[in-house]
């Protein structure tokens, strides 16, 4: 491989099929590496600085900062299209001329320092309202919330009626800030498992309301700990003016959503999670931004192309999301976004990020229309003629990964929400890859929903199920999941709803005999989760409530439902009601997570599938020394069923979906021991024989 460029030799030695596109991969890596060089040498004397230092210096320089020693407040804003800038707010009675900012560099930065008051206090009181007013070249005035603001709040009812629903900027400077007490949990990316509980603060209550950070800390963290998850992925944290956007129309990138509480409340939540050994990931939205003007980044300095591609270019707005698209090739945009990541790592102690909308970022067609139909042909990603890759967005993602892993070398986690399967995206940067630790296995929930929607159990294609669960790039880790928040939203249905539908409202009580619908639903819900967990990836994700088969979809208050919160909640009360069968699924999910924690099959080499029997509907595979056996047949149970296994010895059951406490029928004797016979079977050196009832699964381990 002497003709392979040195900067991508690692990925091509790992996957020789990439060799024809070595030059393309090399050019893409070179762009990111060049940006890293430019950023790390962007100092007045051109001396070297780290990415982390650049990002930290940026968020500590731009925006509003209070010096608690001198009681001075420093404010810096980048607005190259503005002629003049003025800081206004309650502190100066919204006087539009008293606090003009200095415009003293060629990059479009404005500065001001506010001296302390005569009695030695900060000139701007804590939590008071502020704005920046720009005067444009034509003399017109525009009013904006500072771009780096760390606190925005909803206006009062009176303000809404008078001025509209625009969010209000606040100067957050409490006398007492939350002090972190606990170290980040250690996470070894090479060896440790990752079991993620995806959660949305606002819906994390059975009551029809917006739940708070404090309520999540008190009520949800103990549940997540009990269930055995070791990471939480928090959605809708970055401030978004429209609650029903699910957090995906961000207005203020450095402000956390005030509807759930204060910045100090979120710090306490994350610190408490750390005390439980739980990592906390942020669902970060750098793929696009809200079109809101007065409380967002759109037209911030009066131009349409400050942070974004211009509208005239055709690249400035998303064709489906009605949002603005960042210009990742612009140095100041790189500064803003990279420092945003550093800010959440440092200030809130997040342990990593799930990057939203990576497919949209990676391609000029944003994964929409005909461009979104990916077959896996390398030409679709790497051919100069056929691919539509946005090289600048890809380079940004590469350096974002550099930054996270530089700041959190021992524990930082990055996950890409990418449905396209871009090759090398989840391979290390030093090898020539994109740098992500994982990508989401987005084909898996689609397969399960399609199966439940379109086929009877007896018609399930076992080979297709196994292929979909194992069809991932070698050496690129994925997060497997059966369903996420996407499947819970109105317009779709959760697995539990597809399986049991209206029967969940009438037949989940233990006070009457189970029905065929409920019996099938509970059995398959467990089997599907275990099969996805053990075969589908190197990490696992569950959306809150799905672990116990939440009976209803998710619908945020909006005009179509009369602003109702009835479906914008998670009914954990159903689990706590011992007369309902939801407790069975909840306890099974706990047993599943704890079995993986103890025996560990995630983040190990992919399973060896020895059996996928279309008639018997049996799947058997080995992973990390464990033997997994599934019977998906709707009616047939099998006695003395022969299963091939590589390692000889005596096996015992460590997990069994048919336990009574999991809503099963206790047909399997867990005291049984299974002794191998030294005779090859299904390409394995030995076999053992098991009783495997219909719609059940067992996991065996060597004694």
Are 135 and 141 contacting, i.e. CB atoms less than 8 angstroms apart? yes
- The C-alpha atoms of residue 422 and residue 434 are separated, in whole angstroms, by 9
Residues paired with 438 in a beta bridge: 415
> Which residue, chain included where needed, has tokens 């904006």?
144
Of the candidates 77, 356, 390, 418, the residue annotated as catalytic is 356
**102 membership: H or E segment, kind and range:** strand 102-103
406: annotated active-site residue: no
Q: Are strands 438-440 and 413-416 parallel, antiparallel or unpaired?
A: parallel
φ, ψ dihedrals at 4, nearest 5°: -85, 130
Q: How would DSSP label each residue in 104-172?
A: -STT-EEEEEEPPPTTS--SSPTT-EEEEEEEETTS-EEEE--TT-S-EEPPPHHHHHHH-S--EEE--
- The tokens for 566 are 């009835």
356: annotated active-site residue: yes
Q: Whose CA is closest to 525, among 699, 653, 700, 696?
A: 696
- The tokens for 75 are 């404010």
φ, ψ dihedrals at 617, nearest 5°: 60, 40
- The tokens for 248 are 């995906």
Query: 462-470 and 443-454 are packed helices; what angle lies between their axes, rounded to 10 degrees?
Result: 160
Contacting residues for 45 by C-beta, under 8 A, at least 6 apart: none
Of the candidates 239, 268, 304, 417, the residue annotated as catalytic is 417
Q: Whose CA is closest to 577, among 513, 483, 508, 491?
A: 508
DSSP 230: -
The torsion angle over the Cα atoms of residues 35, 37, 42 and 46, rounded to 10 degrees, is -160
Number of residues that this document lists for the chain: 703
Are 373 and 380 contacting, i.e. CB atoms less than 8 angstroms apart? no
Q: Which SS3 state, helix, strand or coil, does residue 686 take? A: strand
Are 523 and 657 contacting, i.e. CB atoms less than 8 angstroms apart? yes
| Enzyme catalytic residues | 356, 417
């Amino acid at each position: 491989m002497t003709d392979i460029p040195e900067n991508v030799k690692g990925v091509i030695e790992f996957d020789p099929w990439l060799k024809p596109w070595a030059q393309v991969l090399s050019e893409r890596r070179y762009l990111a590496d060049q940006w890293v060089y430019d950023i790390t040498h962007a100092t007045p004397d051109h001396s070297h600085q780290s990415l982390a230092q650049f990002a930290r210096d940026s968020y500590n320089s731009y925006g509003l900062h209070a010096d608690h020693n001198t009681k001075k407040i420093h404010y810096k804003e980048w607005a190259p299209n503005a002629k003049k800038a003025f800081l206004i707010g309650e502190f100066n009675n919204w006087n539009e001329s008293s606090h003009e900012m200095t415009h003293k560099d060629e990059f479009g930065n404005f500065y001001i320092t506010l001296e302390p008051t005569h009695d030695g206090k900060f000139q701007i009181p804590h939590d008071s309202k502020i704005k920046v007013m720009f005067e444009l070249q034509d003399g017109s005035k525009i009013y904006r919330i500072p771009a780096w603001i760390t606190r925005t709040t909803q206006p009062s009812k009176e303000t809404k009626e008078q001025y509209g629903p625009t969010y209000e900027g606040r100067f957050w400077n409490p006398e007492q800030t939350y002090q972190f007490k606990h170290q980040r949990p250690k996470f070894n990316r090479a060896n440790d498992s990752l079991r993620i509980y995806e959660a949305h603060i606002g819906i994390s209550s059975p009551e029809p309301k917006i739940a708070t950070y404090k309520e999540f800390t008190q009520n949800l963290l103990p549940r997540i700990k009990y269930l055995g998850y070791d990471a939480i992925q928090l959605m809708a944290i970055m401030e978004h003016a429209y609650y029903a956007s699910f957090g995906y129309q961000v207005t203020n990138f450095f402000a956390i959503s005030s509807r759930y509480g204060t910045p100090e409340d979120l710090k306490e939540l994350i610190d408490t999670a750390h005390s439980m050994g739980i990592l906390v990931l942020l669902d970060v939205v750098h793929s696009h931004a809200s079109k809101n003007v007065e409380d967002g980044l759109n037209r911030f300095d009066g131009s349409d192309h400050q942070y974004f591609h211009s509208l005239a270019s055709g690249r400035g707005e998303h064709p489906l999301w009605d949002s603005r698209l960042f210009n990742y090739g612009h140095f100041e945009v790189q500064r803003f976004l990279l420092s945003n990541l550093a800010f959440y790592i440092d200030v809130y102690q997040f342990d990593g990020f799930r990057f939203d909308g990576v497919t949209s970022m990676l391609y000029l067609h944003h994964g929409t229309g005909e461009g979104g139909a990916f077959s896996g042909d390398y030409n679709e990603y790497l051919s100069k003629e056929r691919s539509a890759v946005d090289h600048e967005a890809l380079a940004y993602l590469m350096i974002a990964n550099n930054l996270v892993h530089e700041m959190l070398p021992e524990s930082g986690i990055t996950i890409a929400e990418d449905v396209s399967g871009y090759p090398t995206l989840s391979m290390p940067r030093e090898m020539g890859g994109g740098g992500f630790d994982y990508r989401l296995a987005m084909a898996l929930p689609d397969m399960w929903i399609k199966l439940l929607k379109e086929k009877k159990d007896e018609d399930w294609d076992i080979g297709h199920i196994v292929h979909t669960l194992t069809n991932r790039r070698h050496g690129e880790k994925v997060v497997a999941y059966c369903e996420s928040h996407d499947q819970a939203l109105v317009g779709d249905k959760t697995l539990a709803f597809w399986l049991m539908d209206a029967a969940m409202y009438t037949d989940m009580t233990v006070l009457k005999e189970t029905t065929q619908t409920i019996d099938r639903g509970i059995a398959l819900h467990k089997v599907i989760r275990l099969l996805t967990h053990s075969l589908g990836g190197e990490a696992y994700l569950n959306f809150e409530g799905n672990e116990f088969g939440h009976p209803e979809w998710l619908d945020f208050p909006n005009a179509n439902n009369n602003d109702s919160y009835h479906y914008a909640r998670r009914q954990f009360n159903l689990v706590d009601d011992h007369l309902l069968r939801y407790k069975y699924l909840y306890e099974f999910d706990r047993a599943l997570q704890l079995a993986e924690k103890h025996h560990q099959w995630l983040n190990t080499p992919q399973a060896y599938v020895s059996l996928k029997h279309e008639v018997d509907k049996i799947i058997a595979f080995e992973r990390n020394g464990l033997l997994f056996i599934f019977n998906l047949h709707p009616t047939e149970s099998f006695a003395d069923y022969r299963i091939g296994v590589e390692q000889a010895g005596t096996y015992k059951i460590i997990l069994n979906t048919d336990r009574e406490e999991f809503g099963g029928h206790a047909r399997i004797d867990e005291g049984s021991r299974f002794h191998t016979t030294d005779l090859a079977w299904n390409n394995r050196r030995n076999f053992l024989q098991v009783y495997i009832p219909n719609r059940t699964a067992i996991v065996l381990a060597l004694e």
